[in-house]
Amino acid sequence: MAGRTIKIFLVDGSASGFRIAELGLSTIKAVVVPRASLSAVASRGELQRTGVYLLIGIDSENPGDKKIYVGEGDTILTRLTSHNRDQEKDFWDEAVFFVSKDEI
């Protein structure tokens, strides 16, 4: 199997902050947004796209485990903003989403 290159752009310069990852010639990119940074990065184009996302955080019923919610949205920012206000989804501290690299 041939090697592949993953490019990770640290948008705010922090390895634990807002990050964008691209895999070679793939047509998608992965974006990681800490919940605390959501409002600060709301103007980024990636959040205005259609995609699939994961909300990730600590499972309060099993503190050693992670809890993950999987969703999709026509506009990722709209869905993440909605979940940010939803008490039933208050567990998450990081969102990972996947969107097209293409400007569509």
The residue segments making up the domain with residue 36 are 32-100
75-83 LR contacts (CB < 8 Å, sep 24+) = 75/47, 75/48, 75/49, 75/50, 76/46, 76/47, 76/48, 76/49, 76/50, 76/51, 77/42, 77/47, 77/48, 79/53, 80/33, 80/38, 80/47, 80/53, 81/38, 81/42, 83/55
Instruction: Please write the tens of the pLDDT for every residue from 56-89.
Output: 999 989 989 999 999 999 999 999 999 999 888 8
Is residue 47 assigned to a domain?
yes
Is the pLDDT reported for residue 1 higher than 80? Answer: no
**pTM, full prediction:** 0.88
Question: Is 44 a member of any domain?
Answer: yes
Question: Would you say residue 15 lies in a domain?
Answer: no
- Rounded to an integer, what distance in angstroms lies between the CA atom of residue 63 and that of residue 24? 36
The answer to whether residue 2 sits within a structural domain is no
Residue 85 covered by a domain: yes
In a domain, 63, yes or no: yes
Residue 13 lies in a domain: no
CA dist 34 and 26 (Å) reads: 24
> How many domains in the chain?
1
